[in-house]
Amino acid sequence: MDAGSERTLVTGASGFIGRHVALEMGARGPVVGAALAHPDFSTGALPPRFEAARLDLADPAAIETLLDKTRPSRIVHLGAMSSQVECERDPARAEAVNVGGTAALATWAGRRGAGFFFFSTDLVFDGRRGGYREEDAPHPLSVYGRTKARAEEAARRAHPGAVVARVALAYGPTLGARESHSDWIVRTLRKGESITLFTDETRAPVAALDVARAVGLLLERGFAGTIHLAGPSALSRHAFGLEVARAYGLDAGLIRPASRVGQVPERQRDGSLVSSRATQLLGASFFRTPDDGLRQAALAARKS
């Protein structure tokens, strides 16, 4: 790899959003993509200068070794135990991966003067009121949300220039091994199977493509601090499912409404994020609506 150009380490590069981010960062220089269970990037588009690496974020020594070997000038950290169910089942591992891994990466980046961009989540909020802004205090309901809130603090403590991006429910084309929420809905409805989605759980769905573009631009502009990356409309999961069905011409009758009440762990009622800080920096219409984003994704899927 060329020593002079900006090299990015993308953790979680095999993940749904990670594949989009790897492509985006690959347009700006060489990328090292790290993953744990899916370190084989043989399917789907990849940046031209891409190197794969295997990494367990629960192993601080392995993190240090990879960083010393690859010497990235910036780290985009998406790798995480991202399943709420798995985090509830194994909170100790969730803590080690989500908090310990973030702390180790941010500490290395802080010491070396490398950029650090951390992917957090709307699930750091309790969802009692919605419309969350960057200055609102986190109050997570789940193990996953708690580890992400603690990881945010660890990142800020270790690296004064860190970007902490809280990302809303992301959708869009699946590029690798890990499927997007919207593609799961499409695949299930195509098989003629029904799905159940909550009418009383609201998020502000965001196109993964827009998230990836935002990462590139915010790093380029030297942004530091906390920022929300979310779509312009707050929708229930059920309403989002109906939008998916409409965009792909699928049978919306297969989508059954349900209530989140009684779910364990307790789920947010309205975790919608407001991304006015991002739109001030990136443009008022930077984040496409779910209607536009899903129609574009459906069109691209028909062409491929």
Binding site for ligand NAP (CB under 6 A): 12, 14-18, 35-39, 55-58, 78-82, 97, 119, 121, 167, 169-170, 177-178
* CB 284 to ligand NAP: min, Å: 23
* CB 66 to ligand NAP: min, Å: 10
280 to each of 93, 218, 274, how far by Cα in Å? 37, 12, 12
Tokens of 133: 């802004």
Q: Report the 10 Å Cβ neighbour count for 299.
A: 12
Cα–Cα distance between 200 and 198 in angstroms, integer?
Answer: 5
List 236's β-bridge partners, or say none.
Answer: 202
* CB 153 to ligand NAP: min, Å: 16
Cβ nearer to ligand NAP, comparing 14 with 114: 14
Cβ nearer to ligand NAP, comparing 39 with 225: 39
Cβ nearer to ligand NAP, comparing 223 with 253: 223
Cβ nearer to ligand NAP, comparing 80 with 254: 80
List, as own/partner pairs, every contact residues 50-55 make where C-beta atoms lie below 8 angstroms and the sequence separation is at least 24, other chains included: 50/22, 50/26, 51/1, 52/13, 55/11, 55/79
* CB 2 to ligand NAP: min, Å: 25
- Alpha-carbon dihedral sign for residues 261, 262, 265, 266: positive
Cβ nearer to ligand NAP, comparing 38 with 295: 38
* CB 179 to ligand NAP: min, Å: 8
Contact 228, 252 (CB under 8 A): no
Residue closest to ligand NAP (Cβ): 15
* CB 300 to ligand NAP: min, Å: 18
Strand 8-11 relative to strand 31-35: parallel, antiparallel, unpaired?
Answer: parallel
Cβ nearer to ligand NAP, comparing 90 with 251: 90
